[in-house]
Amino acid sequence: MISDIGRVSFMTIDFNDMSPATIPGMNGGTGEMTIQMYNDDRYRIVRTVIHRDGSIGIHTQTSGDDLNYIMSGTGKAFCNGSEEELRAGVMHICPKGSSHSIVNTGEEDLVMLTIVAAR
């Protein structure tokens, strides 16, 4: 829901009301991931679960910066040749035009909130 008061817009996104979708081999990755996504012309906001032994394959960010806040689990991000450890409380940022992939390296699901802001 979006509300406008003067020049300020307020938005509430309730993932509890969204049906999850399961995606096998995202961008040529392995295993499965489950997503709940909000998408408009300014934002893509996704609750992403990369299941055990799963990954998002290498891809180039074309629509905007990709910010991935890790809520639980462990993994690795690979961005433009660099490797980053992922764990709860860490945010991986892949700037527009960069290439990256994310791998679940743990025994549990890797759960993250992904925000892509158009620019």
For residue range 13-59, what is the model confidence (pLDDT) as tens digits? 899 999 999 999 989 999 999 999 998 888 889 999 999 999 999 98
**Going by C-beta distance under 8 Å and a sequence separation of 6 or more, which residues neighbour residue 2?**
9, 10, 11
- So what's the pLDDT on residue 5? 52
pTM higher than 0.75, yes or no?
Answer: yes
The residue extents of the domains of the chain are 21-118
Q: Average of pLDDT values for 88-103?
A: 92
* Topology, domain 21-118: Jelly Rolls (2.60.120)
Under a CB-based contact definition with an 8 Å cutoff, are residues 16 and 41 in contact? no
Strand, coil or helix: what is 11?
strand
- Mean pLDDT (the chain, rounded): 89
d(CA 56, CA 91): 16
Q: What's the CA gap between 105 and 15, in Å, rounded?
A: 25
